[in-house]
Each structure stands twice: as C-alpha cells, then as structure tokens.
Amino acid sequence: MRVVRSIYLFIAVFAGFLAGASSVFAASWLPHSLNFPSGISQMKLLGVSCSSTTTCTAVGQDWNGTNWGANAESGWGAGWTPQTGVVRNPGPKNGMLRGVSCVPTLPCVAAGSYGTSEGQPWGMLQEEASGTWRFDAIAPSQFGIRDAMNAISCTSSRWCETVGWTTRVNESVYTFAGNVTYGPTFADSSALSNPNSALDGVSCLSPSFCMAVGAEGPVATARIYNGTKWTATPAPPAQSASSILYGVSCVTSSWCMAVGKWKDSSNTYPLGDLWNGTSWTEVALPASAFPSIFYGVSCISVNECHAVGAGWNDTVPQADGWNGIGWTNEYAPIASGASGGALTGVSCPAANNCEASGWSLFGGTPTGLIETYS
C-alpha cells in the first residue's frame, strides 16, 4: 500500500508540476515598460487602439512634477515612442486622455478631460493625430460645471461617438453622448438626462449602430444608438445590486460583449455580459486575484475576445480570453522588476493579436505598460 500511495503521490505531484508548467509556458501576454517622455516622472496609459497589426496608439496621462496632463504613445510590441505635439498639462487639474479610436489610413481621435483652474468649468479633450496632435475643447453649454468623455469609437467614415458624464449645477451626474465628425464638430446626441449615471465604454459598427455601457446609480446599464437617438436596453444581469460595465466590443448589432465588475459585502468580482440583439446574458469571467475588475474588452469575432483588467486594488494585471463558449484565464505577467500593475484598455486588430495598455508600479511610481498578445 505504501508503494501504491507513493506512486499516486508521484503522479499527483508530477501532474501538478505539468499544470503549473503549462500555465507558465502557455503565457501569451508579454509586458513592455515604456520610457518616460522628456520632463515626465510618472505615466499611466488608459486606452489603446490599433489600426493594424503593427500600428497602435495608446493614450493616458503623465506627471511633470507639478500637473497631470494628456499623454499619447505610438508603436507596437516593445517599440513605443511618445507622440509629439500632444497638448500636455493644459490646466493645473486632471488633464488626461481616457480613450482613443484609430481607423486605418485616417487620423486617430482621442477623448478625455482637462481642467483650467479650481472651481472653473471642465472641458473635454479631443485630439487628432494627423501628423501632429491638436487640442479641441468641446463643452456644450447645456452640460454642467464638470464634464468628461470616457470613451470613443470611430467608423471608417471618420465618424465617432463619444460617451461620458457631466455634473450639472446640482452636482448630479448625468450621462451624455455626442457625435464627433472629422473637423471636428460636436453634436449632442444624448437625450440621456439620467441623473446619477455615467457611460464608460462604447463600440460603434456604423453611424447607425453603437452600444454604450456604464452604470445608472449603483447598477450596470447599457444604451443603443440607432443613428438618431439613444435608447436603454434591458438591464444587463449582475449578481448583486452593485455593478458597473466599463468596456464593450460589438461584432454585429446582435452580438456584443461587455465587461466590468460586481460587488458583494466583502469582494469585487469581474462581470461579463453578452448581448444577443434582444437581451443580455451573464457569462462568468474567471479571475486569479480578488478583488478583481475588468476594464476593457476587444472582440475579433464571436469566437475570440480578450478582456483585461486588474486585481488586488489595481496592482495585479488580469487578462481573460473568450473562445465562443466561455472565458478562461490568460496569464498577464507583471513587468520585470515591478511590484504590481494594471491593464485598462485592449485592442485586437487581428486574431490572436492584441495590445493592452496600463501601468506598472516601480517603488510606487506608475510607469506606462504595454502587454502584447500573440
């Protein structure tokens, strides 16, 4: 019996070793730490968009020792270069780019927010990379004392939809959405005067179809744009009364994947919801660390998506893959020498080919992080 038990023990240990080895050798995400632009000592990347398998733009914010300001990088894989002409630190408060959308052969458009001074209105930051970047403040008068664009999605016709939130005089948060056309001009297409709500992600297939996600009060919400107006979808499911969707990616008007988080009394868990053209269905996202949040998702087809996020209070990168049936955990390593990190955006221009953006922590200092999936 001792011999048999020893054999069983050896088999169990060897199987465990193989399982552990396979999880390491199967690692598909490779981290790259970005260099700071001149005069910058901290940097976070909040969004990324790839127009091809070799051309991407990542955006976020950086710290010059006094202010946070907008930041943009271009590249692919391990090679990234700060883009020139980006308006950095346009005001003393919270300048940043939260999202970017790049279409082949056309300039990228980015969206975010900036501040002029304490107590004065915020505008919204939108820039285009047609050789150089240009700053355009977009602050429709019907919006509030603070506004921010959280996400943007463009079509090949150089038409974009941007979504976010605004606080009006009464300090309530309202959702909004607006069209940005090449030029650019801004036209409010919201009709979304819903208090205590915000939109955090958007995916457009054409000027007549977009899906936006976020939260209304404490519960996840989603809206559809038909080219004329936005309407609410049936509520996405969540396992608690506290949930939010941060990112969405649509393959067709009847197939969209959204990701975010839900909370119970003690932990935060990843949330995945699938749109079938009529309703939402929850699809469980595994996570290797709790609390865990997924911020972004990019789908190549109904059989391949990649979602990214963070665990342990934005200190551990997370990545999951969708195979058409369910989600499985993908190993997203921490950058060499870093104490932690997070992934906030992802873009997959082709099958098994993705770039994710975020930041690494080196001694508590955030540094731009790109992770490549191939």
Q: Which of 338, 340, 285, 344 is nearest to 309 (CA)?
A: 344
345 vs 312: CA distance, rounded Å: 18
342 forms beta bridges with 359
pTM given for the model: 0.88
Lowest mean pLDDT among 4-8, 139-143, 191-195, 316-320: 4-8
Name the residue with tokens 């080219």: 227
Structure tokens at 38: 């001149």
- What is the predicted pLDDT for the residue at 325? 96
**80 against 171, higher pLDDT:** 80
Our CA angle for 232, 295, 316, nearest 5°, is 160
Structure tokens at 310: 């963070």
237 vs 332: CA distance, rounded Å: 27
Residue 313 neighbours by CB distance under 10 Å: 13
Which pLDDT band holds residue 94 (cuts at 50, 70, 90)? low
Contacts of 172 (CB under 8 A, 6+ apart): 195, 196
Using one digit for the tens of pLDDT, what is the confidence trace for 16-43? 333 333 333 344 899 999 999 888 999 9
195 vs 201: CA distance, rounded Å: 18
The strands making up 353-362's β-sheet, listed across from edge to edge, are 29-33, 365-373, 353-362, 340-350
**Residue range 328-348: mean pLDDT, rounded:** 95
